[in-house]
Amino acid sequence: MTSSLTTRLDRVLTTLPRAYPGPGGAVAVLRDGEVLVRHAWGWANAERRIAFTPRTLFRMCSITKQFTCGVLLDAFPDPSVLDGDVRARLPLLEQPAPGALQLCHNQSGLRDYWAVAMLQGSPVEAPFGDTEATRVIASTRTLQFTPGTRYSYVNQNFRLLSEIVQDRTGRSFAEHLRTGIFERAGMASAVLAADTRAMPDGTEGYEGTPERGFRAAENRVLWTGDAGLGASLDDMIAWERHIDATRDDADALYSRLSAPVQFADGAPAAYGFGLQRATELGRRVTGHGGALRGWRAHRMYVPSERVSVVVMFNHLSDAHEAAVDLLAAALDEDRLPPPPRTPAPAWFGAYVEPETGLAARIDTVPDGRARLRFGHSAEWIALQPDGSAGSASGSVRLRPADDGLWMDRPLENHSSRLRPNAGVPAQDVAGRYRCTELDAELTVTDAGDVLYGGFSGFLGQGRMELLEPIGPDVWALPCPRALDHTPPGDWTLAFQRGDAGTATSVELGCWLARRLCYMRLR
C-alpha cells in the first residue's frame, strides 16, 4: 500500500467516529483480496464496557439475503423446481403465485410482511416470531403487481426461501449456511442469530443521537433467511476475500449471485439474488445494506477495481454513506459536492401515482434541498438544466412534459404520468373502515377538529397518529416507528365517496404494501 493511499484511508478513519457518531463501529477495505483497513472503535456494549473489535459479532440484517440465495443455489441449482413450494405457502392467493426466482429478485408482487404487520395493529416492539409471520404470509389473497413486472422490496421473499430449502432437504437453514458458505469462505464465527433480542457475545444495538443520548434498542423479532446472519468484521473480510479469489470462475457462488437479472419484459433489473447492482463513483458495484433498530451495515464489491468495503455500526448512522467515503479514499477520488440550491419549479406540489395509488409529494426543505416523498423514505432530487429532476443514484427522475409530470423509476421497471392532487381535503371522513382481505380495521377519529388514524387487527391495536392533509380526499398517515429497522413510509389514505357525497371506502397503501381496500363500517 502506497503512503498516499495510507494517508487517505487514515484520514477517513479518523473522521468516521464523529461523522457517523454512535457507541461503536468496525470497517474494512480490501484490494486484490488483501486487507488495507481492518479497524474497530468504541463499544459493542457501552453499559458493560465491552469493546467493539474485529471479532465482535454483529447483526448483519438484510445482508443475509445474498447468503440465503447462495444456500438456495447450492441446494437447488434450478430454483424453479421450488415454485410449487412457494404456491403451497400462499394457500389463499387468488392470483398466479410468484416463482422462487421472482422471490430471489424481489419481483414477487407480495406485500412486505413487516408493513402488513403494522396494518394488523402490531405495537412497535411487540414479539413477532414464526407464528405471527406464518399467519401474515399465509393470509395473502392478492398481489400488488404481476410477478416479474416490477421491483418492490419484500422481506418475506427470503424467509420463504430459507423455510422451503429447510423443509425440502430436511436440514436446518443454519446448517446449510455453515456447511455451504461459512466453512467454504472461512467465516469462522458466523452464525444464524435469528432471535433479535440479544447477540451471543453481548453486543447491543443503540438508538439515539449524541445530543439526546443513546439507549439500547429493543427488538423482539425472529428472523431467518431475510435477516438472521450474525457475523464479525473478520467473517465479512473472509467473505470479501472469497469473492475476490473466485471472481474469474463463472460457476463460483458469488459469480452466480451477481449475474445479470431481468424483468419479464427483458428490461435489466438492478436487484437479484439478494444483491443490489448499482453504480458508485462511476463504477459498477454489487452489494447490500443491512438495518434493524440499533444496527446499520453495508458491504460492496467493485469488480473493476477488485475493491471491497464493509461498514458496521451498532447505531443508526448511515453505513452506506460511510462505505462510499471509504471507497472514495481507496480510489483516490473526491465525492461529488451537493447540488446547488435551485428555485422550486412550478410543478412542485402534490400528486397521486395512478398504478400504485400512492401520493407523490415534491417540495423543498429548509436546507434548500428538493425532496420527493413517494417510496420507502424521502428521496433527494436535484434539478437539471433541461427542467427535469432526479436522484444522484438514478433511481428516480421527474420530467415535465406537454401532457403533465412524469415519474420514471427504472430500478422498479416503472414509468407513469402523475395525477395532480392540489387542494385541501374535507375532514368529514372520520369513521371505522374494514379491510376484508386482511380482516383488519382502520379507525379515523376527529379529535377536536383534527384527524387522527390508527390500525387494529390480530396483532393488536396500533397507536393513533395525526393525519397530514395532501389534497382532495387524500391524506397521509405517518408511521414514525415500525417493527422493522425503519417505518414503511407514510401510508396514503385515498377516500372514495358514494352518490350521497359521504366517504364510503378508503384505498390504503405505502410503497411496501399497496392497493388495499377498506370499506366504511360507520
Helices marked H in 246-370 = 253-257, 319-331
Asked whether residue 183 carries a pLDDT value surpassing 70, the answer given is yes
Binned at pLDDT 50, 70 and 90, residue 375 comes out as confident
Which pLDDT does position 385 carry in this prediction? Answer: 87
Same domain for 154 and 173?
Answer: yes
Same domain for 284 and 373?
Answer: no
Which pLDDT does position 41 carry in this prediction? Answer: 98
Q: Is residue 123 part of a domain?
A: no
Q: Is residue 136 part of a domain?
A: no
Q: Is residue 460 part of a domain?
A: yes
Cβ atoms < 10 Å from Cβ of 444: 24
Q: Is residue 426 part of a domain?
A: no
- Angle of helix 130-138 relative to helix 156-169, nearest 10 degrees, comes to 110
Same domain for 162 and 259?
Answer: yes
Asked whether residue 506 carries a pLDDT value surpassing 90, the answer given is yes
Which pLDDT does position 2 carry in this prediction? Answer: 77
Same domain for 357 and 472?
Answer: no
Which pLDDT does position 365 carry in this prediction? Answer: 85
Which pLDDT does position 339 carry in this prediction? Answer: 66
Q: Do 97 and 90 contact (CB within 8 A), yes or no? A: yes
Question: Sign of the CA dihedral 483, 484, 490, 491?
Answer: negative
Q: What's 410's domain CATH number?
A: 2.40.128.50
- Three-state SS across 26-89? EEEEEECCEEEEEEEEEEEECCCCEECCCCCCEEEECCHHHHHHHHHHHHCCCHHHHHHHHHHC
Find the mean pLDDT for residues 411-440: 96
Q: Is residue 339 part of a domain?
A: no
Same domain for 248 and 321?
Answer: yes
Quick check: is 65 catalytic?
yes
Q: Do 131 and 42 contact (CB within 8 A), yes or no? A: no
SS3 349: strand
Percent of the chain with pLDDT over 90: 89
Same domain for 252 and 360?
Answer: no
Same domain for 175 and 264?
Answer: yes
Which pLDDT does position 1 carry in this prediction? Answer: 62
For cell 453495508, the residue is 298
Q: Is residue 174 part of a domain?
A: yes
Q: What is the average pLDDT value for the chain, to the nearest integer?
A: 95
Binned at pLDDT 50, 70 and 90, residue 500 comes out as very high
Which of 286, 304, 331 is the endpoint of a domain? 331
- Three-state SS across 491-515? EEEEEEECCCCCEEEEEEEECCEEE
Which of 420, 444, 463 is the endpoint of a domain? 420
b/e sequence 477-505, b meaning 16+ C-beta within 10 Å:
bebeebbbbbbbbbbbbbbeeeeeeebeb
Rounded to whole angstroms, the Cα distance separating 342 from 363 reads: 12
Residues in CB range of 159: below 8 A, 6 or more apart: 113, 133, 137, 223, 224, 225, 226
**Residue of 3, 65, 258, 393 with catalytic role:** 65
Number of compact structural domains in the chain: 3
Find the mean pLDDT for residues 482-486: 77
Q: Is residue 124 part of a domain?
A: no
Which of 301, 331, 361 is the endpoint of a domain? 331
47-73 pLDDT, tens digit each: 999 999 999 999 999 999 999 999 999
Percent of the chain with pLDDT over 70: 99
Asked whether residue 486 carries a pLDDT value surpassing 80, the answer given is no
For residue 479, give its domain range.
431-520
Asked whether residue 171 carries a pLDDT value surpassing 70, the answer given is yes
Tell me the one-letter amino acid at 245: A
Asked whether residue 337 carries a pLDDT value surpassing 80, the answer given is no
Which pLDDT does position 229 carry in this prediction? Answer: 97
Same domain for 451 and 396?
Answer: no
Asked whether residue 473 carries a pLDDT value surpassing 70, the answer given is yes
Binned at pLDDT 50, 70 and 90, residue 480 comes out as confident
Q: Is residue 119 part of a domain?
A: no
Q: What's 210's domain CATH number?
A: 3.40.710.10
Same domain for 187 and 283?
Answer: yes
Quick check: is 62 catalytic?
yes
Find the mean pLDDT for residues 276-301: 96
Where is pLDDT greater, at 287 or 392?
A: 287
**Residue of 3, 4, 62, 304 with catalytic role:** 62
Nearest to 324 by CA among 6, 16, 4, 5: 16
Find the mean pLDDT for residues 77-87: 98
Same domain for 259 and 149?
Answer: yes
Angle at 443 between CA 440 and CA 445, to 5 degrees: 180
Same domain for 356 and 441?
Answer: no
184-218 pLDDT, tens digit each: 999 999 999 999 988 999 999 999 999 999 999 99
Phi, psi of 101 (to 5 degrees): -65, -35
Same domain for 411 and 510?
Answer: no
